[in-house]
Amino acid sequence: MTPLWCNQKHSTLNMKIMKKIILTLGVVAITLGSTAFAGEIKVDKRIQRAFEKEFAGAVGIKWSTIENYIKVDFSLNNVPLIACYSAEGEKLAVIRNIQFSILPLVLQFDQKKHFNDYWIIQLFELVNEEGTHYYLTLENADQRIKLVSHESGEWELIRKEEKN
């Protein structure tokens, strides 16, 4: 499958949006894949105020850095969430793990149609300024694949790994 930013239907995306998409994918990979390297930090007051304003009532707040990003794990209304900020204080994304039944039906049907012989390893929702996207990691005996949703209701393959 052709990546979103290479697809002819989406060729009008400008460089700024493409950079943000790539940056967001990097943040997601780093955020969900390497939390073992995260360390507690002193948070810039601007970021802390922005977080407290947007997520009033959050509990279990844990701040950390991963490379050049600031990550905050927390719960709001008993829902575990992750928010990612740039060092300048710009909110990059909010992420939550979800169950398959929460996915829009069109995405459930597309997954069953094209990837029925795989089982679900991870599923999360990412919300950023470009909208809401779903990331799905699937596995079978031979492969692990990572998919991202499109507003058209289809999944795009973003990574395929052979298992040893």
Q: Which tens digit of pLDDT belongs to each residue from 56-92?
A: 999 999 999 888 889 999 999 999 999 999 988 899 9
Provide the phi-psi class of 78: left if phi over 0, else alpha when psi is between -120 and 50, else beta. left
Which alpha helices (H) appear in the chain, and where do they start and end?
Answer: 15-33, 45-54, 105-115
- Give the count of beta carbons closer than 10 Å to the beta carbon of residue 94: 18
The H-or-E segment that residue 5 falls in is none
The mean of the pLDDT values for the chain is 81
Residue 150: CATH number of its domain: 3.10.450.360
Does 102 lie in the same domain as 87?
A: no
The residue from 94, 121, 156 where one domain ends is 94
Domain of 152, in residue numbers? 98-164
Q: Which residue has the higher pLDDT, 105 or 43?
A: 105
pLDDT at 147 over 60: yes
pLDDT at 10 over 90: no
